[in-house]
Each structure stands twice: as C-alpha cells, then as structure tokens.
C-alpha cells in the first residue's frame, strides 16, 4: 500500500429502468362493480387527453419506486454503512489489533461490528427520461 494515501475514489454508474403504468381497473381491489370500472376508464381516458399530466403521474410513480429498487440493489450487492460481515471486516482483520479495536464497535453485549465513518458518497448526476411510449 502506498505511503500517505489520503483517499481512494471510484465512480459507479447504477442504472435502473422502471416501468410505470396506470390501468383502467384497480390493481389492488378485486371484484369492483362495473360502475366503478367506468370511473377508472374515465380517468384513464382523461389522462390520455393530457399527455403532460399522464407523464407527470407515471414519472412520479416511477420515482416513488426508487425506494424498492434501492432495497433490491442493496440485497444483491450490499450497502450498509456498518458492515456486519465482509468485505470491510476482512480488510480490518488484517490490521494490527489496536487498529482493529479502533474500528470495532460493540452494539450489544458480545456483538461487535466493524464501523468506519471515513467514507461518503456524492451523486454526481442523475437523469429521468422516458424510454418508450406504450
């Protein structure tokens, strides 16, 4: 390891495609009567006559689903600041005992986690764009 390294930087591009839709019938309420189905159809037709409003509604729904996408990415690739398992633990385990102790935090009696607070992230750019018209 080079002496006097002050920081290490890497940029990651995380791409998420989200399909947003609105239906002419409720998705969560089964057995809706025909009159209520007409209401949904009327709403859908109204949105179709106002494309910019439809775009705002669907874009908003897509943005709301970013929380779910974040959880999916975290489950697949990891992403907690306080690592309970590798990879950070493996790196700290190779250090001298006093350095290991410095980065170790007891969260419960006998349960230690590795905690390093010297890293941060910064969103460099973002863009929301429509990729199809279906």
Q: How far apart are CA 13 and CA 16, in angstroms?
A: 10
Q: Under 8 Å CB-to-CB from 115, ≥6 apart: which residues? A: 81, 82, 83, 103, 104, 105
Distances in Å between the Cα of 122 and the Cα atoms of 11, 68, 80, 84, 101 are 9, 20, 16, 23, 29
pLDDT at 82: 44
Q: What is the mean pLDDT of residues 62-78?
A: 85
pLDDT > 90? residue 81: no
pLDDT at 107: 78
Q: Output 24 or 54, whichever has higher pLDDT.
A: 54
Residue 85's pLDDT band (boundaries 50, 70, 90)?
Answer: low
Q: What is the 3-state secondary structure (H, E, C) of 29-71?
A: CCCCCHHHHHHHHHHHHHHHHCHHHHHHHHHHHHHHCHHHHHH
pLDDT tens per residue across span 5-46? 888 888 888 888 899 988 877 777 677 788 878 888 888 899
Query: What pLDDT does 25 receive?
Result: 78
Looking at residues 52-78, what average pLDDT do you find?
87
- pLDDT band for 56, please (50, 70, 90 cuts): very high
Which of the residue ranges 70-79, 81-90, 98-107, 125-134 would you say has the lowest mean pLDDT?
A: 81-90
Residues paired with 113 in a beta bridge: 105
| Tokens, residue 12 | 């990651």
């Amino acid at each position: 390891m080079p002496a006097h390294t002050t920081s290490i930087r890497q940029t990651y591009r995380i791409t998420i495609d989200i399909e947003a839709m609105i239906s002419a019938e409720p998705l969560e309420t089964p057995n809706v009567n025909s009159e209520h189905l007409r209401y949904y159809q009327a709403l859908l037709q109204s949105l179709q006559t106002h494309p910019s409003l439809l775009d705002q509604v669907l874009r908003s729904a897509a943005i709301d689903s970013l929380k779910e996408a974040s959880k999916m990415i975290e489950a697949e690739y990891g992403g907690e600041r306080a690592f309970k398992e590798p990879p950070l633990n493996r790196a700290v385990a190779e250090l001298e005992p006093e350095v290991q102790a410095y980065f170790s935090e007891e969260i419960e009696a006998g349960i230690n986690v590795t905690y390093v607070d010297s890293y941060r992230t910064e969103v460099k750019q973002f863009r929301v764009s429509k990729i199809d018209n279906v």
